Every structure is written in C-alpha cells, then in structure tokens.
Amino acid sequence: MTDQLDKAFAALSDATRRDLIARLAIGDATVGELAAPYDMTVQAISKHLKVLTDAGLVTKRAEAQRRLVHLEADALRALTQWVEHYAQLAERRYSRLERVLAGMTDQLTDQPTDGPASATRKDAP
Amino acid sequence: MTDQLDKAFAALSDATRRDLIARLAIGDATVGELAAPYDMTVQAISKHLKVLTDAGLVTKRAEAQRRLVHLEADALRALTQWVEHYAQLAERRYSRLERVLAGMTDQLTDQPTDGPASATRKDAP
DNA sequence: GTCTTTTTCAACCAACCGGTTGAGGAGCAT
DNA sequence: ATGCTCCTCAACCGGTTGGTTGAAAAAGAC
C-alpha cells in the first residue's frame, strides 16, 4: 500500500516520465513511438516505462512484437486523493484558525479550540 | 517550473516524508516534535524537512531557538492539479472512445474519429 | 559569564538511479 | 530457415539519496 505510493510518486518525480504520462493521456502508444521524440536510447525509455508499470500507472498489452502502452487513470486518481486529503485538512484547519482569530471579538469562550499554532503537540500518535 | 515538480514529487516518494506531511496537516510543529515519534536521529528528520522545504511543500519560521514547521497547502494543490489534468484527459478520451464504440450502430460514417486504440499514432508531436 | 537545548552543517557509507553499450528474445516477412 | 523489427535483460558508471556520527551555531536558562 505505502509501497505503491512510494513507487508512484517516485515515478512522477522524473520529467521524462511525466512527459510520457502526458503523451499517453492523449492515447495509447508503442514503446518505439514513445521513444521517438527523445534524444535518448530506446532502452532508457523502456526502463522509464518499467518504472511506470511497476508503479501501476501504466500497463502494456502485447500487439504482435510491439507493446501497446496504456495509461491507467485510476492509479493517477489514487495519488490526487492522497494529496488532496492532506491539502484539504491543512486548508480547513487554517481557515478554522482564521475564523477563530476573526471571531475573537464576537464570542471568545465557546468551543475548545486545539490551540493556535504552537499548542498542537502530541506525545503518542 | 519543471524543477519544482521534480522536487515535490520526489519529496512525496518517501514514506517518512509523507508521514511528516500528514502530521503537519494537523498543525505546525517544531523539528524536535516532528522527530520524536521516529526511531531515527533528529538530523535525519532535519534532512527530510530540508527536502520538503526545497520542494516548497513546507516553510519554517524561527521561534526562539526552535523552528516552527508549516505545511504549504497551496504547493500540494499544484501537484493535484498536474495529476488531475492528465487523469481527466485520459478518462475523457477513454469515455469518448466508449461512446464512439457504443454509437457505431447508430451512425457510422460521421466524424473522422482519430481511430480506436492503435490508430492514435503521431509522428512529430 | 557557563551550561543546556534545539537545530543545522560536514563527512562518510551503502544503496539506488538514470543513462550508456551489448547481447538476446519474440514475432512477422521473405 | 534467415533476416528484420521491436523490445527487454545485464553489466557498467557517475551522481544522488537516506541514514549514520561528530562538531558547531544560536538562543535561553542558570
């Protein structure tokens, strides 16, 4: 589980692989077609594609002696979900803090806020 | 631009750093607080935080001799946007293909479809 | 002032990464 | 069968990474 996220994020950390993703979003393609635009050997692209497949972002199906590479949109969605979760969490917390600060004049002893800024410590998570 | 995406995705490719993000989504914390739960030296966590800051995902502000670490939700959003863009592109293309296949009985010689599956090749992108 | 806390810097190490070259494998085509 | 095309596997190399230890900087506490 965590291993898959490791691989997926690592896969996207390379500009060439992100470029391949962008290309594959347009439509499926063979390894050779994918390699053509790059100033790089086909083996290098093949390696990149292996990284992407190991991360589950891409699949290949044999088509004669060529391999048709296909982008797995669902795997991408798993990434956005992870990131969005914490982005929203942080954003919500922040806006709540803002709300609390703004509302300090209105009502002051209402709910137990978990404390502004530095009072968020935990001992045994 | 591309360099920042490189760093951000690379930063998230490590489970420890993702864990730090998750912790920081709850609220800001000092380096020591962040390091406490881990079976690892404080220096190692400091390094991880440097990676996160270099990626722009996190900022630090001095608070006495401690450093308060803060999660930058906007930087996370930049990642989700990138991934979502291509996820939607691929998904839309796929559903369009499905629509074409389903509609083949209704109307067959209508628009020049870019060809199902394997006919999506391009020579000079 | 000295001592303690908090964090970073520096050097080191094993392991991994992104690229190369070279060889091999699996399918058509002739 | 022989050859051609498309792709992957293996070995290698320089550079980066994730962790360690040790020292030092910066700010409070005494």
Give the single-character DSSP code of A33. H
- Which bases of chain C are under 7 A from a protein CB atom? 5-10, 17-23, 25-28
Q: Is the sign of the CA dihedral A3, B57, A52, A50 positive or negative?
A: negative
Confidence label for B1 from pLDDT (cuts 50, 70 and 90): low
Give the single-character DSSP code of A118. G
Quote the radius of gyration of chain A (alpha carbons, Å): 23
The arrangement of strands across the sheet holding B66-71 comes to B29-30, B66-71, B58-63
The answer to which of A4-8, B64-68, B85-89, B119-123 has the lowest mean pLDDT is B119-123
> In angstroms, what separates the C-alpha of A15 from chain B's closest C-alpha?
7
Residue B95: the pLDDT is 72
C-beta separation of B116 from B97 below 8 A = yes
Domains and CATH numbers, chain B: 2-72 (1.10.10.10)
Tokens in use for B59?
A: 């900022």
Residue B3: the pLDDT is 87
- Better-predicted residue by pLDDT, A99 or A43: A43
Percent of chain A whose predicted confidence (pLDDT) is above 70: 75
- Residues A4 and B20: their CA atoms lie apart, in Å, by 18
Q: Is the sign of the CA dihedral A42, A43, A44, A45 positive or negative?
A: positive
pLDDT per residue over B69-105, tens digit each? 999 999 999 999 999 999 999 988 877 666 676 665 5
Å between CA of A32 and C1' of D7: 9
Query: What's the angle, vertex CA B118, arms to CA A10 and CA A73, rounded to 5?
Result: 35
Return the HEC string of B64-124.
CCEEEEEECHHHHHHHHHHHHHHHHHHHHHHHHHHHHHHCCCCCCCCCCCCCCHHHCCCCC
Give SS3 for B55.
Answer: coil
Read off φ and ψ for residue A36, nearest 5 degrees: -50, -50
CA atoms within 13 A on the CB side of A37: 13
CB-to-strand C under 7 Å, chain A 39-68: 39-41, 43-44, 47-48, 51, 62, 64-65
Q: Which helix (H) or strand (E) holds A63?
A: strand A58-63
Give the single-character DSSP code of A89. H
Confidence label for A122 from pLDDT (cuts 50, 70 and 90): very low
Contact at CB, A76 and B68, closer than 8 angstroms: no
Give the single-character DSSP code of A35. H
